[in-house]
Structure 1
Amino acid sequence: MTAYAIGNLHPKPVLDDEVFVYMERIQATLDPFGGRFLVHGAPAREVREGTWPGAVVIIGFPTYEAARSWYDSAPYQALIPLRTRHMTGDVLLIDGTPENYDPARTAASLRAAKASAADDVQPDKD
């Protein structure tokens, strides 16, 4: 199942050359793991709900294991300080949904689990 590395990054107003070196080298760290940029550093065009400061990065991987192996790899670990010295943010690894994902089926499962949990709660009999 496809997985993603997602970043919400907050660069400083003036980028240091280290950030450019990071950008020049990151693709070589992704290639062995089948990673590719889907979104790279784009600010949100519209924030329709809530707030979303920063720039969005989304990298797709063929599997969660590939995403994790990339992040933990020595070549990528060596690059991380080039980014983190010049921008803050949040980065996460997350599974995608399977091709046949059906949100209605998920809702039905959650509804059934909720009903089952409610049935398991017995009032105290004193």
Structure 2
Amino acid sequence: MKAYWIAHVDIADAEHYSQYTQRTPQAIAAFGGKFLARGGRSEALEGRQTPQRTVIIEFESYETAVACYRSAAYQEAKSYREDWARAEIIIVEGINPI
């Protein structure tokens, strides 16, 4: 069953944040991840304010999604984000297709 990273990100310094966005695709690709949404238009209809960026990444399984997040490559990329952006990332398992 597929799984997805859903990330809401608010960026304090775009120039420094770009160091993260330059490194992340390689870490994601190493685990077969596929970007489905990466910062396009969005609107909060309920709940909290719309974040500056919403990112959705698809993985082949929940275990693969978790392994990618915990990988050394992603953790290294993440270190470039931590001082310059606030992120909320969840991993959610998809549903079985009918």
State TM-score, norm by structure 2. 0.87
Greater per-residue helix proportion: 1
CA RMSD in angstroms comes to: 1.5
In 1, are the aligned partners of 2:2 and 2:60 still within 8 Å (CA)? yes
Gaps of 5+ in 1: 101-126
What residue number does 2:46 align with? 49
Aligned residues: 97
Report % sequence identity. 30
Q: State the TM-score, normalizing by the size of structure 1.
A: 0.70
Higher strand share: 2
Q: Which has the higher contact order (CA 8 A, sep 6+)?
A: 2
CA positional deviation for 1:43: 4.0
Partners of 1:56 and 1:81 lie apart in 2 by 19
Residue in structure 1 matched with residue 72 of structure 2 by the alignment: 74
Instruction: Return 5+ residue gaps in structure 2 as ranges.
Output: none
Would the aligned equivalents of 1:10 and 1:53 in 2 still touch at CA under 8 Å?
Answer: no
Q: Deviations over 1:22-81 (max 9, x none)?
A: 11121111112110110112341x333344421211010010011011000001111112
1:73 partner amino acid: S
Question: 1:99: which partner in 2?
Answer: 97
